[in-house]
Structure 1
Amino acid sequence: MCLECQGRGKKSRGLTKKVRLRYQMAFDQFEKMKGEGTAPVRPKGHLHSCLKCSGSGLIHSASPPVADKKNYPHVAIIGGGIGGVALAVACLHRGIPFTLYERDNNFEARSQGYGLTLQQASKAIEGLGIFSLKEGVISTRHLVHTTEGKVIGEWGVRKWIQSDKKTSSKRTNVHIARQSLRLALLEQLGGHDAVQWGHQLVDFAACENEGVDLSFQVDGKIKNAKADLVVGADGIRSSVRRLLISEDITPLRYLGCIVILGICPLNALEGVNSSLLDSATVFQTANGNERIYMMPYTSDSVMWQLSFPMPEEEAKALSAQGPQALKEEACRRTQWHDPIPQILAATLKAQISGYPVYDRELLESELLEKMGQVTLIGDAAHPMSPFKGQGANQALLDALTLARGISRGCRAASQWRKAGVRESVLTEFESEMLERSATKVKDSAEAAQFLHSEIVLHEGDEPRGRCLKKKDA
């Protein structure tokens, strides 16, 4: 952690004399009025990027940081997906002791999703010690087509500067396989041994003195552990969330559509020559009901995502039939312009999956306040549809924000053990997290509707969501 900026990546310039005097005058006036009216808000200094760490909050070290068990709380992270591993990495850099638990028996035990797009988080991952993504692919062009292949929208760097030159990731979206990013994060921890694999959370309870007792099922036996802070990073069907909040209070909410996903290597497309397959173009095609989205997965493969409205029970049944049925349904619905039919036909069954799309109602801060020394991040806290590509981005931001909050709120002189980790860290963290993610959840749910409606066919060189906002205005 960079001590110059305390790992935040930014430093305050402080307040000018003029601003300080103006605030003092307003505060004096408020006191003269004996508290009537609204109290003036103390101004904050403008932030600027820390020069010592170039805004990452981290500096290079010859050896891993040593955990400061005396001053910091021991964090139990439940879930070894993107959010959980990111939180572990952020804790490692700051000397915060942690244990990372994952129910799977190993890294490859089950599918961890397909590709993801780093938007806001493409800069935030520097705060996790990742300054270059070897497997990342940068897109510089985005197209929207009708099913006949007519372009009805185009945007991106190549559209605006009329150049085929690839630009830096700071100005573009970075596409990467979820497992590749997860592996890059695990490498920050020193490899797979940093995870307690095969640990299924069964229960937890606050200790009589302090901390939290946890129970895991491991190889058919119950194993106990203890922590000062428990973080649920275990996805949309979070065990931590279920143990804290009744499923009846915030149940899964079906968003009315199903998603079918596939990955196709470019070398499987013999005789197909298309500028859409240049590993730097994202395109989507729609008809007002079905919609397919294609993006670079790696430098030599593409990922496709087909979605369409379907009653929930039918969506569950189709998903349960497996890859062959999903592929047949996808091919049947997308006899559209090239190279879509060829890509779907060339995709192997083993690279196809599908699921009904769900989210949950936004959490209220009051529900979280009752959790004591437990909190949630990522999909466990704010699951959302995949249509805005925000799930992984928000999980990464949650992880970094929480670790920075622990570092700041549990300093040696903070007396956090006396005040409690909720008052010292969690209340402020959850407030920021819920405010930041709320619009993403809402926009993602709206996208599940408008991407399968006539709005998606609006002609305009901009994302379809902006078309909807203009229409509403």
Structure 2
Amino acid sequence: MWTVCPECQGQGKKSQRLTKKVRLQYQTALDQFEKNNREGTAPVRPKAPKIICQNCSGSGLIDSAIPVIPNKETYPHVAIIGAGIGGVALAVACLHRGIPFTIYERDENFESRSQGYGLTLQQASKAIEGLGIFSLDGVVSTRHLVHTVEGKVIGEWGIRKWLELEEKKAVKRTNIHIARQALRLALLEQLGGHDKIEWKHQLIGFAASENEDVDLTFQVDGKTKTAKAGILVGADGIRSSVRRLLIGDEKTPLRYLDCIVILGICPLSSLKDLKNSLLDSATVFQTANGNERIYIMPYDADSVMWQLSFPMLEEEAKELSAKGPKALKEEAIRRTQWHDPIPQILMATEENKISGYPVYDRELLNPELLSKGKQITLLGDAAHPMSPFKGQGANQALLDALSLARKIFKGCKSPAHWKKAGIRESVLNEFEAEMLKRSAVKVKDSAKAAEFLHSEIVLYEGNEPRGRCLKKKDFK
């Protein structure tokens, strides 16, 4: 069990005192500004630099012998719509901080949707410590290769290459590959299990009530059910009901990115007669021809996940997806008669482990659209959906969740203040500004990746991720 670190108040960082020199410089500039009758540009008060809190090693949490009791008198009740990665992460972050919450999920149970594909924790591999998870049963990749369809290596990077001559040096950052359901389950275990979620709750409406709460209306087993909350958070994915009810789909419609993705998971045991160094459970590789592109990564220690993508008209992509796993597998095999072990992996993948969908995102949200909801906000794919080609969706959702919980904890410490100023002024404006700024570059880069990974750029020869090629003179 965990609770908030008293030294950094759960933020993971502490403000360092400004140096005497900086304070004097600011005071001198301010005095001069006053002498000039406040003409010109006023000096900006310097911000204290942040340092990692040593007491909690930057997580914002410390051990607790007893569970944290929700502080209903101080904090608003948070209604979380959606029990995916972002929604459950927000609940966990609220739990550790004594912020009352309820998760509402339209699915019947945890297994209703497999959410079975894998994800790669990048920036969020550190952030999950702020959610009380200090070890994950994931796989760390140490090598990344890019091939032509004949099997020629045209790019290689990763720890194994960078540290060939410096093996004893500490690794600053690694990517952790983990099954989405495994991470979701690890988060749910922090909450105490699946029964902490209100299953089969489909949000159908909400409205602000007289006391500044939000009245929620759900459809549950064919009946209407109501609830109240101080904050409503839409963590319900790219087709978010909260976003639709708050903003409307017509203002920020889904934007098709001109390609389809087919996903599959293949156990290594099905390839036991195939000896290949690419299947060492620590290698990520991709192969491309300028149109189709397949990306294969460790799913867990005993299986790999593959992601095949290629350009396709939107209606054709919808039709192929609707035909189901058998048709998707046949299409994938037809397009990838390439070097080993790609054909073998696709052939050995069972149909019930295959899915496919057209790829969409949305235009970046205008902050003014979000501010329409005084007590309502969005996070993860509900706020900033993006293509899967930079592996950033889950990472950004985790960062959103931790950021929002920290801002509620900090902004609502004084009930008299936040109830007078309103939750938007006290918490949501700052959270959304930070979230939208941080995620904007990820949305843009992910959209660019959907284009360049299916073009000649992907065949550039160089030991670096393909996106960096765009910055080179030859591709400008």
Q: Compute the TM-score of the two structures, normalised by the length of structure 2.
A: 0.97
Q: Does 1:122 align with 2:114?
A: no
One of 192, 197, 200 as aligned partner of 1:198? 200
One of 61, 64, 67 as aligned partner of 2:67? 64
Contact 2:93 2:402 in 1 (8 A): yes
Structure 2: distance between partners of 1:92 and 1:33: 52
State the AA in 2 paired with 1:77: I
Structure 2: distance between partners of 1:223 and 1:142: 50
- The 5 Å alignment of 1:333-412 reads 333-412=335-414
- Measured after TM superposition, the shift of residue 167 of structure 1 is 9.5
- Measured after TM superposition, the shift of residue 170 of structure 1 is 5.4
Q: Does 1:254 align with 2:253?
A: no
Alignment correspondent of 1:55: 58
State the AA in 1 paired with 2:297: M
- Measured after TM superposition, the shift of residue 354 of structure 1 is 0.2
Structure 1: distance between partners of 2:370 and 2:423: 13
Structure 1: distance between partners of 2:81 and 2:172: 32
Alignment correspondent of 1:102: 105
Structure 1: distance between partners of 2:353 and 2:90: 29
Distance 1:207 1:413, change over 3 A: closer
Structure 1: distance between partners of 2:212 and 2:460: 58
Structure 1: distance between partners of 2:112 and 2:27: 60
- The 5 Å alignment of 1:8-407 reads 8-134=11-137, 136-162=138-164, 171-407=173-409
Contact 2:103 2:198 in 1 (8 A): yes
State the AA in 1 paired with 2:227: A
3-state SS of 1:216 partner:
strand
Structure 2: distance between partners of 1:221 and 1:163: 66
Alignment correspondent of 1:437: 439
Distance 1:169 1:398, change over 3 A: farther
Distance 1:403 1:147, change over 3 A: same
Structure 1: distance between partners of 2:459 and 2:112: 40
Structure 1: distance between partners of 2:41 and 2:360: 42
State the AA in 2 paired with 1:412: S
State the AA in 2 paired with 1:139: S
State the AA in 2 paired with 1:263: I
Structure 1: distance between partners of 2:171 and 2:311: 34
Distance 1:449 1:414, change over 3 A: farther
Structure 2: distance between partners of 1:201 and 1:31: 55
3-state SS of 1:401 partner:
helix
Contact 1:266 1:301 in 2 (8 A): yes
- Measured after TM superposition, the shift of residue 163 of structure 1 is 7.5
Distance 1:100 1:394, change over 3 A: same
Structure 2: distance between partners of 1:243 and 1:330: 37
- Measured after TM superposition, the shift of residue 61 of structure 1 is 0.9
Equivalent pairs: percent with the same residue? 76
How large is the Cα RMSD of the aligned pairs? Answer: 1.5
- Measured after TM superposition, the shift of residue 30 of structure 1 is 2.6
Contact 1:2 1:57 in 2 (8 A): yes
State the AA in 1 paired with 2:7: E
Alignment correspondent of 1:449: 451
Contact 1:138 1:169 in 2 (8 A): no
Question: Can you list the C-alpha shifts for 1:168-200, whole angstroms capped at 9, x where unaligned?
Answer: 885210000000000000000001111111110
- Measured after TM superposition, the shift of residue 235 of structure 1 is 0.2
3-state SS of 2:161 partner:
helix
Structure 2: distance between partners of 1:235 and 1:9: 28
State the AA in 2 paired with 1:158: R
Structure 1: distance between partners of 2:227 and 2:168: 49
Question: Can you list the C-alpha shifts for 1:236-266, whole angstroms capped at 9, x where unaligned?
Answer: 0000000011211000000000000000000
3-state SS of 1:43 partner:
coil
- Measured after TM superposition, the shift of residue 24 of structure 1 is 1.5
Structure 2: distance between partners of 1:302 and 1:468: 29
State the AA in 1 paired with 2:135: S
Structure 1: distance between partners of 2:431 and 2:34: 31
3-state SS of 2:62 partner:
coil
Q: Compute the TM-score of the two structures, normalised by the length of structure 1.
A: 0.98
Contact 1:123 1:170 in 2 (8 A): no
Contact 2:188 2:194 in 1 (8 A): yes
Question: Can you list the C-alpha shifts for 1:61-110, whole angstroms capped at 9, x where unaligned?
Answer: 12220011011111000000000000000000000010111110100001
Structure 2: distance between partners of 1:163 and 1:302: 29
State the AA in 2 paired with 1:51: Q
Structure 1: distance between partners of 2:168 and 2:20: 45
Structure 2: distance between partners of 1:202 and 1:147: 48
Contact 1:10 1:57 in 2 (8 A): yes
Distance 1:168 1:260, change over 3 A: farther
